[in-house]
Structure formats: C-alpha cells, structure tokens
Amino acid sequence: MNLKGIFMGLATLLLTACSHQSEPVEKQPIHVTVEEVQSDATTADGRIYIGVVEENNATVVSYTSMGTISRVYVSEGQAVGRGQLIAELDDTQACNLLATTEAQSRQAEDALVRYKLLHDEGAMTEAQWVEIQSKVEQARSQLAIAKRNVEDCRLTAPVNGIIGKRYLAAGETALPSQPVVSILDINSVKVKIAVPEREMKDITLTTPTTISVEAIGREFQGGRIEKGVQADAMTHTYDVRVRVDNKGRELLPGMVAKVLVKNEAVKSEKCSLPIMAVQKRADGTLFVWTVAKDSTAHRTTVTIGATVGNRVEILSGLTDGHSVVTEGYQKLSEGTTVRVK
C-alpha cells in the first residue's frame, strides 16, 4: 500500500469515529415509586380529619427525697389502682434513723413523767418545766419525721389509671421530683385533630362526630368538643379535641384515628402523603413531584395541614388521580422522563 492509500484509510477511520460520537446518547428514564392521590374525605355526611388519641389526664409520680431504687413493681401498660405500691427505695438508712429517734423519744417521754412529779411538788421552776416540755415536743416531731421518711421510701399510685412510661429502674438513683412513672387516665380519652381556620366555624361544642380506629377495628361516637383558640403559625390550623368514652380502655394514647365531623353536605380535596414526598423551594413554597400522562415529572405546588405519624395532610394543589412520586425524587428535574416501578 502506498503512502496516499494509508492517509486515506486513516481519514476514513477518523470520520467514522466522529460520526459515532456525534450520535445523541439516549437518556434512560429514572425509576420512581408513586402514590395515587385519593381524598381523605367523601362526603355528604361531613368532613373527615386524621387525629391522634390522647389521654384524658397524665400524672407524673416522683419521690420527695433522694435514694436508690431497690425495686419497681409495675411495667408500662399495666393498670394500677389508687394506693397501689409502685416502687421502693433502699430504706436501710431511714430505718436506722427511725430506730434512733424512737429511742430518743422514749427517753424524753420517761423524763417528762419524772419531771412532772417534781414540778407538781414545786421542786423545779416553771422555766425548767417549760424547757422539759419543749424537748419532748422536739423528740415527738423528729420521730414523726423519721416515720414519714420510712413511709416515703414506698411510692404509691395517687390515682387510678395505667402506667404510661417508666422512667427509672431498680438500682438507679431517684432525685427529688424526678419522674419515676407516669400514670394515664384513659377511662375517657381525647382525639386531637387539626382544623383549618376556614372550617372552624362549622364545628361547635356539640357537633356530632364518629371516630374510626383502624388499630382495633372499631368505631366510637364522639362527645363534647374542645376548640383551641391559638392557631399554628405555619399551617394556620387549630387544635380541636373530641372526648370519647373509653370504659373498656381499648383506645390507647398515640393511636391514629379518623374523625368524621358531621355537617351539612360538604366537599373536600384533602389527602395525605408521606412527609418526605413534600419538598421546599428556595422561596419557601412547598411542592411535590407529580407524573404526567407522558411519563414526565413536574413540580406541583401544594399547601399542607396537620402532620400525623409519618404523613402530612395536603390541603390544596392535588386532586384525585394525581400520581405523586414518593421514592426516587432526589434525581428528578423538571420534565425528567420516569418509569414507575
């Protein structure tokens, strides 16, 4: 092959390589997981809110003195009655002090009897007699304190209820006013919901409600309603609590409940999504990634309401049928082609 032929061959190879490099590389679609929007509310019956069960009252039980806990007799979730023994401190030091003060008290009482005979016979001054009486009163007071210290080593339940949380265990040091356990009154409970300010006017103290709790598969009729007076600065919602009779103690604090607030026929577009699906722009507005019919991703502005568990209410911006990306959104940009898993 001559030199001219070699150069022509090299030129042909270079042109072929360049033509291959200039061909556009097809981008692979991003794999995502989506959740289809479904309104949380139906309804001709009223509005539906997502709420959380709260105890009617919580009592924190603690010691008035410092000591080492020798034994705890209750566990979380256990029912207790008023006066039931909850825990005990090591009472060795308190019992020794009681024995000492008992001996001092007996000695003072014996001295009082002897000195009374002398006082009645006029063998001692009135000032001496008053001093003897004062010492006896001091001994009696110290004995009462020592007995109380021994009693205080035994921690008892001040009310009926169930143990909500146990803070300390045997072997740990309890400080004055440090919580040992909390006792929850759940004979009646409250279901807390967040209500947008525009819907507060539709709720009165006696509005009928129905509470559905999926965890136990039951429905309850709500009682009197407590309306909050201070709105959340971020969501502009008010806390509303619905009382529910719970004599069977089936409803436990923390359970998620669906509350139907019965009103005249209303429509609602509220839904709920995983919290992580909601993103924030630089200007502070919130959005989610939605998937269009042509399988492209787009930012859709939303407003949010109350947070329940790992989900948040969407008050506006979405309607039934929207497909919202819940996994894989980190790789998306406006118009990205996606493939739903």
In the predicted structure, residue 309 carries a pLDDT above the cut 70: no
Model pLDDT, residue 267: 46
pTM of the full predicted structure?
Answer: 0.54
Cα–Cα distance for residue pair 204/53, rounded to 1 Å: 20
Query: In the predicted model, what is the mean pLDDT of residues 20-33?
Result: 68
In the predicted structure, residue 194 carries a pLDDT above the cut 90: yes
Question: What single-letter DSSP state applies at residue 38?
Answer: -
Report, at the CATH architecture level, how domain 30-42+270-340 is classified: Beta Barrel (2.40)
Model pLDDT, residue 47: 87
Q: What is the percentage of the chain residues whose pLDDT exceeds 90?
A: 57
Sketch the domain layout of the chain as residue ranges.
30-42+270-340, 46-57+186-262, 91-152
Model pLDDT, residue 207: 92
Name the average pLDDT for the chain.
86
Query: In the predicted model, what is the mean pLDDT of residues 286-311?
Result: 89
Instruction: Summarize pLDDT for 56-83 with one digit per residue, the tens.
Output: 999 999 998 899 999 999 999 899 999 9
Instruction: Summarize pLDDT for 226-280 with one digit per residue, the tens.
Output: 999 998 888 889 999 999 999 888 999 999 999 999 864 444 556 788 899 999 9
Q: Which residue in 238, 239, 302 sits closest to 272, CA to CA?
A: 302
Question: Token pair for residue 282?
Answer: 């630089």
The residues facing 32 across adjacent strands are: 340
CATH code matching the domain that covers 46-57+186-262, chosen among 3.30.450.40, 3.30.870.10, 2.10.50.10, 2.40.30.170? 2.40.30.170
- CATH class of the 91-152 domain in this structure: mainly alpha
User: For the chain, what is the radius of gyration of the CA atoms?
Assistant: 37
Pairing of strands 30-36, 338-340: parallel
Q: pLDDT higher for 341 or 149?
A: 149
Question: Token pair for residue 293?
Answer: 């019919």
| Residue labelled with tokens 């001994």 | 139
In the predicted structure, residue 11 carries a pLDDT above the cut 60: no
Report whether 306 contacts 235 (CB < 8 A): yes
CB atoms within 10 A of CB 298: 14
Model pLDDT, residue 128: 85
Model pLDDT, residue 40: 53
Query: In the predicted model, what is the mean pLDDT of residues 297-317?
Result: 86
Handedness of CA 306, 311, 317, 320 (dihedral sign): negative
Q: What is the percentage of the chain residues whose pLDDT exceeds 70?
A: 87
In the predicted structure, residue 215 carries a pLDDT above the cut 70: yes
Question: What single-letter DSSP state applies at residue 339?
Answer: E
Query: In the predicted model, what is the mean pLDDT of residues 157-168?
Result: 93
Query: In the predicted model, what is the mean pLDDT of residues 31-38?
Result: 87
